[in-house]
C-alpha cells in the first residue's frame, strides 16, 4: 500500500488550513440604530460588539437615525467597553440636544448618564461623520456582495443613501453601490403590520426603500421581541457600576426586572441566522414584494408584484420558545470582555447553504467527528469554530498514518 509522504501530508494540511481560513471570516455589517431612549438599543449594540469580540462579526460602522448629539458618544461607551472604540460613527443632521423621545416619557433617559459615568472619546455627535458619506465610504471599501445592513433604527439615512450621487468614494450612484456591495438588509420590522421603526418617521422613506431595494430583505417582526422578555440577570449577575449594559438596564427597566427585546432578536439573526430558533414565515416565501404606504409607513405584501430578491420574514421555530430565545440573548450579554469566548461561538463561512440545518460528518479510522452547520443570514453557512480546527486535526491524523 502506498504511504503518503510527510512533505505531502504537511502540504495537504497547510492547504486545508489555508482553505478554512480563506472561506471563514467575520461577517461585515453596518448598523443603523435609533439608540437613544429604549432599553433594547444598548443590548443590541452590546450583542453586536460581543459577536465582534468573538470573531463572528466585523462592525464596519454604526450610524444613528437619531438627531441627538448625545447618541454617538453613548454608543461609543459600549463600543469602547468591548474594546471596539475605533468603530466609525455617524449621526443624522441637523443635531439637537434632546435626550429622549417625548411620546415615550415613561422610558428613562440613559444617554447622558452613560456618557457621564463611562469613558468615551467622541465627545459629541458634532465630531462624527454625516451618515451618507460614511455609508458610501464603508461600502466602497468593502468587497462586492459582502455587507449586511442591520436596520434596527429608522430608514431616513438609508433613503438618503439610495438617492446619493457619485462622489470621491465611488463613481456609483447610491442605488448601484448598494446593489454591488450589500448582500442583505435585515429590518427589525414587520412586512404585514405597523412597525415603530417604519411608521415613526416619514412614511415616504419606507415606501421608497422597499420599492427599489435591489437585494435580499429579511424582516424580524417586533412581535417576536415583544414576546421575548429578557434580561433579569443583567442587573443581578453583572456589576452595574462597571458594565454599561447592566448600567442602562438598571436605569431603564430596573433591578431584577425583565422587558421586551425587539432589536436583540434582530441582531441575533444578523449574526447567526436562523439557527434553531427561527424559521421562515410561509406567507413571505411566495416571492411577492413587500411595499409600504407613504402616508403612514405601514407595510403590506403586494401580491401583484414580484420582488427582485427575496423579501421574507422570520418567526419563532415551533420547536423553540420565546423564553429560550430570551435566555440565549441574556447569555450573550452576560459575557464580559476578558472572559473566554463561549463554547458555542461560531465562524461564518462564505459557502452556499440551504435554508435548513444540515450536518457534516468527518470520520477518521474508528473515530467520528460531527460538525453541525447552521443556516446563516443571507444563506451563509455557519460552522462552530472548533469544528474547522478539529476537522483539520482529524485529517492531519489521517494523512500521517
* Residue 394 scores a pLDDT above 90: no
Q: Look up cell 477518521; give the residue.
A: 364
CA distance 221 to 193: 9
| Structure confidence at residue 343 (pLDDT) | 79
Instruction: Report which secondary-structure segment, H or E, holds 222.
Output: helix 222-226
* Residue 92 scores a pLDDT above 60: yes
The stretch 331-340 carries a mean pLDDT of 96
- Starting at the earlier edge strand, list the strands of the sheet with 89-91: 89-91, 57-64, 27-33, 147-152, 182-187, 216-219, 311-316, 278-280
| Structure confidence at residue 67 (pLDDT) | 94
The stretch 112-133 carries a mean pLDDT of 98
| Structure confidence at residue 337 (pLDDT) | 97
Task: Kindly report, residue by residue over 246-265, the tens digit of the pLDDT.
Answer: 999 999 999 999 999 999 99
| Structure confidence at residue 377 (pLDDT) | 54
| Structure confidence at residue 18 (pLDDT) | 43
* Residue 400 scores a pLDDT above 90: no
| Structure confidence at residue 252 (pLDDT) | 94
* Residue 94 scores a pLDDT above 70: yes
CA distance 376 to 184: 11
Task: Kindly report, residue by residue over 163-216, the tens digit of the pLDDT.
Answer: 999 999 999 999 999 999 999 999 999 999 899 999 888 889 999 999 999 999
Strand partners of residue 302: 289
| Structure confidence at residue 346 (pLDDT) | 61
Answer positive or negative: Cα dihedral of 73, 75, 80, 84.
negative
The stretch 122-138 carries a mean pLDDT of 98
102 pLDDT band, cuts 50/70/90, is low
| Structure confidence at residue 24 (pLDDT) | 59
For the segment(s) 26-344, the CATH number from 3.40.718.10, 3.40.309.10, 1.25.10.10, 3.90.245.10 is 3.90.245.10
Q: What is the mean pLDDT of the chain?
A: 84
Q: What is the DSSP annotation of 281-333?
A: -GGG-S-EEEEE-TTT--EEEEEEEE-SS-EEEEEE-TT--HHHHHHHHHHHH
The stretch 98-115 carries a mean pLDDT of 82
| Three-class DSSP category at 384 | strand
Least confident of 15-29, 96-110, 116-130, 144-158: 15-29
Minimal CA–CA distance to 379: which of 145, 143, 60? 145
More confident residue, 217 or 24: 217
Least confident of 22-31, 212-221, 352-361: 352-361
Rounded to two decimals, what is the model's pTM?
A: 0.83
| 80 neighbors 121 (Cβ within 8 angstroms) | yes
| Structure confidence at residue 283 (pLDDT) | 82
CA distance 291 to 217: 12
Task: Kindly report, residue by residue over 216-241, the tens digit of the pLDDT.
Answer: 999 999 999 999 999 999 999 999 99
* Residue 399 scores a pLDDT above 80: no
* Residue 21 scores a pLDDT above 80: no
Minimal CA–CA distance to 252: which of 42, 81, 54? 42
Task: Kindly report, residue by residue over 158-177, the tens digit of the pLDDT.
Answer: 999 999 999 999 999 999 99
| Structure confidence at residue 384 (pLDDT) | 41
| Structure confidence at residue 2 (pLDDT) | 42
| Structure confidence at residue 379 (pLDDT) | 45
Which residues, other chains included, contact 299 with Cβ-Cβ below 8 Å and sequence gap of 6+? Answer: 189, 190, 191, 192, 193, 194, 195, 198, 206, 210, 290, 291, 292, 293
Buried/exposed 2-28: b ≥16 CB within 10 Å, e otherwise: eeeeeeebeeebeebbeebeeebebbb
Q: Look up cell 456582495; give the residue.
A: 145
Task: Kindly report, residue by residue over 290-315, the tens digit of the pLDDT.
Answer: 999 988 889 999 999 999 899 999 99
Integer angstrom CA distances of residue 58 from 72, 121, 382? 18, 21, 15
Q: Which pairs from 200-203 meet CB under 8 Å and 24+ separation?
A: 200/154, 200/297, 201/65, 201/154, 201/155, 201/156, 201/297, 202/156, 202/297, 203/292, 203/293, 203/294, 203/295, 203/296, 203/297, 203/298
* Residue 54 scores a pLDDT above 90: yes
* Residue 12 scores a pLDDT above 50: no
More confident residue, 135 or 370: 135
Strand partners of residue 359: 372
| Structure confidence at residue 105 (pLDDT) | 65
The strand pair at 380-384 and 346-352 is best described as antiparallel
Amino acid at each position: 500500500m502506498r504511504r503518503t509522504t510527510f512533505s505531502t501530508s504537511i502540504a495537504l494540511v497547510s492547504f486545508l488550513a489555508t482553505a478554512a481560513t480563506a472561506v471563514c471570516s467575520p461577517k461585515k455589517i453596518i448598523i443603523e440604530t435609533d439608540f437613544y431612549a429604549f432599553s433594547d438599543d444598548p443590548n443590541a449594540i452590546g450583542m453586536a460588539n460581543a459577536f465582534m469580540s468573538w470573531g463572528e462579526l466585523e462592525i464596519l460602522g454604526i450610524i444613528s437615525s437619531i438627531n441627538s448629539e448625545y447618541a454617538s458618544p453613548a454608543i461609543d461607551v459600549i463600543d469602547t467597553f468591548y474594546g471596539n472604540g475605533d468603530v466609525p460613527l455617524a449621526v443624522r443632521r441637523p443635531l439637537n440636544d434632546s435626550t429622549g423621545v417625548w411620546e415615550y416619557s415613561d422610558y428613562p433617559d440613559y444617554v447622558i448618564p452613560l456618557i457621564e459615568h463611562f469613558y468615551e472619546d467622541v465627545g459629541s455627535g458634532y465630531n462624527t461623520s454625516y451618515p451618507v458619506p460614511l455609508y458610501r465610504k464603508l461600502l466602497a471599501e468593502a468587497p462586492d456582495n459582502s455587507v449586511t445592513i442591520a436596520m434596527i433604527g429608522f430608514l431616513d439615512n438609508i433613503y438618503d443613501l439610495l438617492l446619493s450621487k457619485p462622489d470621491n468614494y465611488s463613481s456609483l450612484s447610491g442605488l448601484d453601490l448598494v446593489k454591488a456591495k450589500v448582500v442583505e438588509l435585515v429590518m427589525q420590522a414587520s412586512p404585514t403590520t405597523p412597525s415603530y421603526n417604519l411608521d415613526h418617521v416619514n412614511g415616504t422613506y419606507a415606501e421608497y426603500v422597499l420599492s427599489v431595494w435591489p437585494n435580499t430583505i429579511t424582516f424580524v417582526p417586533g412581535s417576536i421581541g415583544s414576546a421575548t422578555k429578557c434580561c433579569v440577570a443583567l442587573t443581578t449577575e453583572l456589576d452595574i457600576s462597571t458594565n454599561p449594559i447592566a448600567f442602562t438596564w438598571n436605569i431603564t427597566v430596573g433591578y431584577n426586572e425583565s422587558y421586551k427585546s425587539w432589536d436583540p432578536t434582530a441582531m441575533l439573526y444578523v449574526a447567526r441566522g436562523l439557527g434553531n430558533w427561527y424559521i421562515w414565515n410561509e406567507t413571505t416565501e411566495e416571492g411577492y414584494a413587500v411595499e409600504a404606504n407613504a402616508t403612514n409607513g405601514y407595510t403590506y405584501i403586494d401580491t401583484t408584484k414580484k420582488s427582485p430578491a427575496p423579501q421574507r420574514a422570520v418567526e419563532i421555530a415551533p420547536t423553540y420558545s420565546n423564553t429560550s430565545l430570551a435566555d440565549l440573548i441574556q447569555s450573550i450579554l452576560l459575557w464580559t470582555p476578558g472572559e473566554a469566548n463561549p463554547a458555542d461561538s461560531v465562524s461564518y463561512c462564505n459557502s452556499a447553504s440551504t435554508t435548513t440545518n444540515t450536518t457534516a460528518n468527518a470520520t477518521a479510522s474508528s473515530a467520528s467527528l460531527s460538525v453541525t452547520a447552521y443556516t446563516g443570514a443571507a444563506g451563509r453557512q455557519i460552522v462552530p469554530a472548533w469544528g474547522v480546527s478539529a476537522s483539520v486535526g482529524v485529517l492531519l491524523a489521517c494523512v500521517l498514518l
